[in-house]
A and B are shown apart, each in its own frame.
Chain A
Amino acid sequence: EPEVTQTPSHQVTQMGQEVILRCVPISNHLYFYWYRQILGQKVEFLVSFYNNEISEKSEIFDDQFSVERPDGSNFTLKIRSTKLEDSAMYFCASSLTGAGANVLTFGAGSRLTVL
């Protein structure tokens, strides 16, 4: 069964460092997303991406965050200068369509620990 692949599975970084989380969405999917889950809290929407541009972003997704699809297969989330509160599990997801109630397929997540 097709799956969304995320790397790394766990990254530890120092506060103020840049981090790039990588995702390979399902190959025929057109819509891409990042969500995050702080330990013990809800899964929260960060950003959606379609046709090489951001479709929607949440208030969490400030200027420290950026997304990119550098080639035909990868989708990345960059955090420019990490803060302690960025420690969370980051999930990439993709969907075939954005129309209607689209079904998102999630990856296994990248755990980010900021020290």
Chain B
Amino acid sequence: EDQVTQSPEALRLQEGESSSLNCSYTVSGLRGLFWYRQDPGKGPEFLFTLYSAGEEKEKERLKATLTKKESFLHITAPKPEDSATYLCAVQARGGSNYKLTFGKGTLLTVNP
């Protein structure tokens, strides 16, 4: 069974204080690893897809990296508007093209 574990569950940062979120996964062949952002009362909003170990993607203050067992979401000099829950999800190879298995997320709070 595919599993995704995210840590920490919650993270408080001061504005400008860089940090990283972790996503550990076990999957029977990775098709893709996804990062989504979720604001309170809203649906997940797509950020990145990573396909293979060593891959990195960046968007503004966010950078996602991938190894064979985990992914990191690095946040550089965060701003209060980066406050949200960050969700990691995996899609397995060989099975359905469609099912995403999500972690519980990391609730990030950035204080001004």
Contact = CB atoms under 8 A, between A and B. Distances in A.
Contacts of B102: 42-44
A22 B101 CA distance: 23
Contacts, number: 67
Contact of B104 (A42, A45, A102): A42
Interface in A41-55: 41-45, 48, 50, 55
Interface in A23-52: 31, 33, 35, 41-45, 48, 50
Contacts of A45: 98-101
B44 A43 contact: yes
A53 to B, nearest CB: 13
A48 B99 contact: yes
Contact of B46 (A41, A103, A109): A103
B96 A42 contact: no
B42 interface: yes
Contacts of A35: 100
Given A91-B43, A109-B43, A101 B31 contact: yes
Given A45-B100, A48-B96, A48-B98, 8 more contacts: A33-B98, A41-B104, A42-B103, A91-B44, A98-B98, A101-B91, A102-B97, A103-B46
**In the A-B complex, the 9 residue pairs with the closest CB atoms:** A101-B32, A106-B43, A48-B98, A98-B97, A43-B102, A56-B96, A45-B99, A106-B44, A101-B31
8 contacts: A43-B100, A45-B99, A98-B97, A98-B98, A99-B97, A101-B49, A102-B97, A106-B43
